[in-house]
Structures are given as C-alpha cells and as structure tokens.
Structure 1
Amino acid sequence: MRVVQIIDSLEVGGAERMAVNYANKLSEKIDFSGLVATRGEGSLLNQVNKNVHYLFLNKKGSLDLKAVLRLKTYIKKNKVDIIHAHSSSFFIAVLVKFIYPKIKIIWHDHYGPRISELKSENKTLRLFSVFFTSIFVVNKQLREWSQKYMHCKKVIFIPNFIQETQFVEQTTVLKGSEGKRIVFLANLKNPKNHLIVLEAFFELKLFDLGWSLHLIGKDYFDLYSQNLKEFIKSKDLYNHVHLYGERNDVIFILKQTSIGILASTFEGFPVTLIEYGKARLGVISTNAGFCSEIIKNKETGLLFDPLNKKELSFQLKEIVENESLRKNIAANLEKIVVDNYEADKVIEKIILEYSKI
C-alpha cells in the first residue's frame, strides 16, 4: 500500500496537523507514506518523521501546471496508489488525475462550517467530487452534508487522533500560579470565538481568585486579533490574560494547566479536545461539531452553547469552583481518549478503508 497525504501548507491548523499525523503514523504501517505541501511550508515541517517521503511543490496560483506535473512525477516515481487529499488540496489532486487516471483520490473534509453552506457555495468541490473514490469526514453533520450534495456517495466518518511529537524542545513556560491556569488552544481567528471567553473571564473576576487565562495559537495581527487585544487593554487584564502566539511544545504547555477551554461557533473534530483529555485537564467545551460526542456534560467535561455567554459563564464558574468535579471529568475524558482516539486504533480503520479501494 502506497499513499500520499496532500495539504496546502504546514502552518499550524487542524487539517494540517492531521495530514502530518497520518503521514507519520502510516510510515510505520505501510510500504510508502508520503506528504506533499502544495502552497507553503510552516512550523509543522519540524514534526514530519524522517521515514515520510516529503515534497514541497511551491505551487503558484490555482492552475500552476508545473506544480501539477511535479506532483504527477512524484506519484509515478514512488508508485503511489492513493492520494489522500485534505481540505482544499482536492483541486490539485483532481488535476493530477486528469493526466494520470489510474490514481485513486480520497478527499478528507475537516471544515466544520461547511454544514451551514449551500451547494452553490461549493460548486468546484461538488463538480470535482465525481473523481473521488471515497470521502472521509470528521463528524456526522459533515457526513450528512456530503451525502446530500456530493457526487461521491461513499462517505465515511473517521475520528481525529493525536500523536506525541518527538524531539520538540520544551521552551514555553506559562505565567500565572500553578494549579490556576486556564488554557485556550486555538488560532486567533473566526470561528474560534475568543472574545466571549475573555468577557466571561472578566465578568466572573476569576483573576481575583488567582486564575489566569492563556491563549495559545497563531496571531494573524488582523481585526479579530486587534479586538481581543483592545478588550484586554480596556479591562486592564495584562497581568491575567497572556498571549503566546503559535507554539510547537503543546503537550508541555498543557501539563502546566488545569482547565482547557474550547469555544468555537463551528467545529469539525477538534484535536484540541483530544489533547486536553490526554493532558488530563478539566474541560469546558462548545457543543459545536463533534464536541458533544466527546464531551458529555458533567461526565467528561462541561458543555455550553457558544452563542450564550450566560451559559458559558455558569459552566466556567462551576469548573473553577468545583475541584472535585474538575478532577473527575478530567479522569473520565482521559479514559475516553485512550479507549477511542489513540493513533493506532484510528490508523487501523484508515488502512482498512484504503484496502477497500
């Protein structure tokens, strides 16, 4: 079995992390595991295992024929059977199939907000889906969307997983008091919904109880980011809310915290929740996407409607004040993660689906 993962870039993001995770883990299990970044590289390049056959295309524009030919040459030279195309990289995968018809394409949809989109907003995707052998999705809502709108009707739910990254230097030391740190692991952009968390943190005056909030994720220095920083400044939260930007040593960071929060208005399958569970954090989570399948209220975390600040504040207050509850749901979530979202178990399912093509 010879498979290549294709992704637009290796910047830190959910789809990007999963493409790297798949390539790395499959390199231990199959004859050939490749990874192709089409448009850009990024910090995730440092997490690609040496056994993965990596190629950067440096694609310029949607119809870069030289990039298409380079990808075809890579696929033919390495006798690749399957292209596993993540998110928008389906486009170049189909262009390659036009000139190399024997290749099989699996498209992997990680984009939670797609469930609110009409078929007219995905014309190219729908048109090209006739060339897909299978579609993988990260939650049940996306599966329903694909079954309704796509021309490829073989749609399979595949859960995400995390993989411990080796040789990542542990450099990020969090500010604040031990045992009273809340972490929010998400890039600073829509639909991650940071502002509602900042507002709840401020209104509850959690800093008076010694708690601090730590935002880990890429800063795009845009209006979204500017609004967050202006709120922090206007409420004089500089000593209590800390922004760290994009970081590679996530596992090391999480071990320094007690509570993990996720507040997105849309989600696919958040790897963040799996990472929180692996780190044994008390979790408070949005009910968007697949989140409510992982987080069962007061069993493996506390759920809230991401558009309801009152509900968020209530749950945040409870998880901060009730240490016994926090430790209990953290232990339960860790067990759920180990039982269902360990890398080996998910990869077994992936290889089984590959074998059916």
Structure 2
Amino acid sequence: MSDICRLPRRVLVVDDMLNVGGKECGLLVQLQILKESSISTDLCLLRGEGELVERALEYTSDHLFLNRKKGRFVSVESLFRLRRYIIDKNIQIVHCNGWLDSLVVLIAVWGLRVSLVRTVHGHLKGFKLAIDRFVTSKFDSMIAVSNSFRRDLLRLGYKESNISVIPNTYDPCMKPSSTCIKPPPLRIISVGRLNKAKDQMTLVKAAKVLRSHNTEFVLSLIGTGSPNYIHSITRYLTENCLEPWVRMCGRHMDVATILRKSHLFVFPSTRESFGIALIEAMACGLPVIASRLPSTEEILENGEYGIMFEQGNYRDLANKIIKFALNHQLLEEYCSKSLKRASEYSPGVFRKRLLDVYRTVLT
C-alpha cells in the first residue's frame, strides 16, 4: 500500500509533436503503461501535430496543445497557459521528451513545486547542447535510454548525479508467431525512417551481393523519410535490376504482422541512442543482424543475442545474411535468443523502472 501511495496522482507528459518514429512510439507505450498503472496522465504538445495524436489521446485524461508555429518559440501567452494548466490540474510530475519542450516547461514552472523528469532520446550539438545541459541540470531526474548513451551524455558534460538508465520498451502488440519455421524465400525486413543515418543503402547494396550468389530472398523496407534519400535508393534498385527482390513499402501501421511473417530483421543504422525497431523485431521472435554500435552491442550483448556486422560494410552484411539463408537451424536458434533478450526490455520491466524514478523524485 505504501508503494501505491508514493506514486504520483497526476503526470503531465510533454513533447513537441507526435509524428511516427521510434521515440514517439515509445512515448505512446509510456502513456499506455501510466494509464494501466491508474495514474492520471495528461499530454501537452507544443505544436499539437502528428499522426499519432489521436492514439495518444486514448490513454490520457486531458490534453493541452500550445500551437507553436514551426521554427518559432512558444508565445508568452502559451507559457502562461501551460503554467495555469499545471496549477489547475494539480500536476505533480512533468515528464519531458525533448530539449525544446524541457526549456519551455522550465520557464513555465519557475517557482512552482512540481517535479521535473526528462527522457533524453538523442544527441544534440551546438547551442542546443549548451541550453539542454543547463536546463536538465535544473531537473530532478534525467533518463538515458541505454547505458552507452548515458556514457555519451557524461562525456558531453551532463550532470552525473541525476542520470538514470531506463531502456526503451516495445508495444505489447509485438508478439511472436506460433512458429519459427516459415516457407521460403528468405523474407528480410528493415523498419525505420529512410535516411542516411539509418543507412538502408548498405542493406540495398547487400541485396545486390545476395543476387550474385543466387540467394532466394525478398527484402522489404518499411518507412518513409528523406525524398532525396528515397530517390537514391530507387535509382540504385533500377540501375541494378533489383526491383523484383527489394520492395519499398512506405509507412505501414501494422508493423507487428509484417514482422511475424518475416524470417530476418536487419538494422543497418550508423547512429542510435537505443534502437526501438531492433527490440520490436526481437519481441516478435525474429533473428536480427545489426550494425556494430555501442547501443546495439549493449542490446545484443556484443553478438550473444544477434549477429553483428561492421557499420557500412555491405559485403560483411551480405555474408551474414547468407549464413541464415543456408542454415535454418541458425534461424531457429536466434529466434529463441531474440525472445529471451526481448523479455528483458518488456513493458513490465519498463513500468517498474519508470515508476521507481517517479517515486524517487516525489520523496
């Protein structure tokens, strides 16, 4: 009973906007978990935009949209609206998710007795980094999404004493299929925004190598992104006659179903603070191949729970895929390993860690 009493009665979750992305999907799961924990949760968006807004409102008690114009700071009137909202709703904890909304909240709550929590999802540079270091030093707790990212934050000069680590979790709908045995051809999938940082081009180039080895496969790229980057991929596919084997699927709202129908997940990113898409695939029971990064090494325990390839090396990636194509026992082995590792990042584990942080900042 004492643990329940120490939980906040009302939390305000703040972000700029809610477009489809790893951070935003993670925020949806956070809202769902708070609702299931019987914590009244409100949502504040600086811009009040995004494809995920309607879903987010299903899990919230109330909301406030400040209608910030793109490229501008919020108005003085909006700052006072936010301050009045926090007072009137008796908000105990404000949980921010970006550098700009953290700055807005710090100004709005100045002088109020309210606990401030910030989850840091990605790297900042220049003046944004300088502002964020100052702002988060005034927060009661800062959450890094991985141990490797926490080390990055410390190197960047963030205050060590209030940084805790809560790895991101996955949507509870991410569940495995009834069997690891699926009919050929080898169905490979990659999910994420199509841009240089996610480096789907390395995977597409690996597909060309697979064809030269007469490997039977179908590669599906799920996501939207930079028009120029998408054009460079489609042009490469056309020039190398790869269209029958590589599908540009665009955005898909039922990613879990596509994952369950696939054999293998590839995560070719060049920069990640965590990698929600990787954990989602593992929760669906897919063997995974990931580029070697500090965050992916942490999730896969340096290759224990998935295969790793050298970042940007499409030949190395192709060779790793061919190993799976030629060895169905290997697919089954890493299917089991993925499920085992994903259980350590489950929504239940995330819930316990998040509520522990909330209890701490309220004491």
Is TM > 0.5 for Structure 1 vs Structure 2?
yes
The answer to whether residue 158 in structure 2 is matched with residue 150 in structure 1 is yes
Please say if residues 143 and 155 of structure 1, whose CA atoms lie closer than 8 Å, have aligned partners that are also in contact.
Answer: yes
Task: Give the conservation status (yes or no) of the 8 Å contact 1:286–1:303.
Answer: yes
Q: Quote the Cα distance in structure 2 between the aligned partners of 1:108 and 1:312.
A: 32
For the 8 Å contact 1:6–1:19, the answer to whether it is kept is no
Kindly provide the amino acid, as one letter, of the partner of residue 127 in structure 1: F
Q: State the shift of 1:212 in Å.
A: 1.0
Hey, what does 2:354 align to over in structure 1? 350
Gaps of 5+ in 1: 167-176
Larger mean CA deviation between 59-68 and 192-201 belongs to 59-68
Q: Which amino acid aligns with 1:43?
A: E
What is the match of residue 199 of structure 1?
205
Matching residue of 1:331: 336
TM-score, with length taken from structure 1: 0.88
- For 2:265 and 2:224, locate their aligned partners in 1 and report how far apart those are by CA, in whole Å: 17
Pair 1:21-2:29 in alignment:
yes
The answer to whether structure 1 residue 92 and structure 2 residue 99 are counterparts is no
Structure 1 runs of 4+ off > 3 angstroms?
Answer: 206-209, 296-299
Q: 1:249 to 1:103 in 2, by over 3 A?
A: same
Q: Report whether the alignment pairs 1:214 with 2:220.
A: yes
SS of 1:201 mapped into structure 2 = helix
**Aligned equivalent of 1:50:** 58
Q: Does 1:134 align with 2:146?
A: no
Which moved further from structure 2: 19-28 or 35-44? 35-44
Structure 2 residue runs of 5 or longer lacking an equivalent are 1-7, 175-182
Q: Is the 8 A contact 2:215 2:325 kept in 1?
A: no
Identity of aligned residues (%): 23
Partner of 2:120: 109
**Contact 1:183/1:257, CA 8 A, preserved across alignment:** yes
Alpha-carbon contact 1:8-1:39 (below 8 Å) kept: yes
Question: Greater RCO between the two (CA within 8 Å, min separation 6)?
Answer: 2
Distance in 2 between residues matched to 1:56 and 1:207, nearest whole Å: 54
Return 196-205 or 317-326, whichever deviates more. Answer: 317-326
1:50-84 CA-partner distances (Å, limit 9, x unpaired): 34133333222223223322322332222111111
Q: In the aligned structure 2, how far is the partner of 1:289 from the partner of 1:79?
A: 40
Comparing 63-72 and 23-32, the one that deviates more: 63-72
SS of 2:109 mapped into structure 1: helix
2:132 aligns to what? Answer: 125
Q: Distance in 2 between matches of 1:24 and 1:212?
A: 34
**TM-score (norm. length: structure 2):** 0.86
The more displaced of 88-97 and 290-299 is 290-299
Q: Deviations over 1:253-280 (max 9, x none)?
A: 1112111110111111111111111111
Equivalent in the alignment of 2:75? 64
Cα deviations across residues 70-113 of structure 1 (Å, max 9, x unaligned)?
32233222211111111232222222223x532222111111x5
Report the equivalent of 1:36: 44
Shift of 1:157: 0.8
Establish whether residue 268 from structure 1 lines up as the match of residue 286 from structure 2: no
Alpha carbons of structure 1 residues 318 and 296: separation in structure 2 relative to 1, 3 Å: farther
Shift in Å at residue 231 of structure 1? 0.9
Considering only aligned residues, what root-mean-square deviation do their CA atoms show, in Å?
A: 2.3
Give a deviation string over 1:319-340, Cα, whole Å, max 9, x none.
Answer: 22221111111111102212x1
Give the counterpart letter for 1:284 in structure 2: I
SS of 1:331's partner is helix
Q: Which amino acid aligns with 2:78?
A: A
* SS of corresponding position for 1:105: strand
Per-residue CA deviations over 1:8-61 (Å, capped at 9, x if unaligned) read 211111211111111111111143122222224222224326341333332222
Which one-letter code corresponds to 2:313 in the other structure? N
